[in-house]
Amino acid sequence: MNTITNMTNEKATFGAGCFWGVEATFRQTPGVISTQVGYMGGNTEAPTYENVCYDETGHAEVVEVTYDPSKVTYNDLLKIFWENHNPMTLNRQGPDIGTQYRSAVFYHTPEQAELAQNYKDMLTASDKFSRPIVTEITEAKPFWKAEEYHQQYLEKRGLSSCHI
């Protein structure tokens, strides 16, 4: 049986800045079946990278993660999400500035929404961050797959990360 079509697999979608490094991080996670980068949360059908970069669509750069919940939990994925970007900067990650780089959890089920909000609340209460968390938690909207040259971008170039 093809594991990608296994009915027990689930999807998670995260925006945490430039999608190249975010995708590479999730691809290294045991239990993650596949990833693809794309755009979500905007108001234009079939956006292009150029449209998104010029802030013409309202979309965020996101990574859609297909995972096996018997091997990795949604909370595990949330932990990776929160630990691998700065959730305190509005519309910015490192040198990348714009609404497409916003911190966002796009939930696919009410359970994901609750888990994401609980995780955010836990982090807020922990004082782990020096400023308020600006991460949006929003219902998943249509996912628009990014152009092929963006898929597994760092792997194709022999790079392990694009972190600064």
Instruction: Please give the CATH number for the structural domain made up of 7-156.
Output: 3.30.1060.10
| The pLDDT of residue 1 | 37
pLDDT band at 2, cuts 50/70/90? very low
What tens digit of pLDDT does each residue of 63-104 get? 999 999 999 999 999 999 999 999 999 999 988 999 999 999
pTM score over 0.85: yes
Known catalytic residue: 18?
yes
Catalytic residue among 18, 72, 78, 104, which?
Answer: 18
In terms of Cβ atoms closer than 10 Å to its own Cβ (0-12, 13-18, 19+), residue 34 is: middle
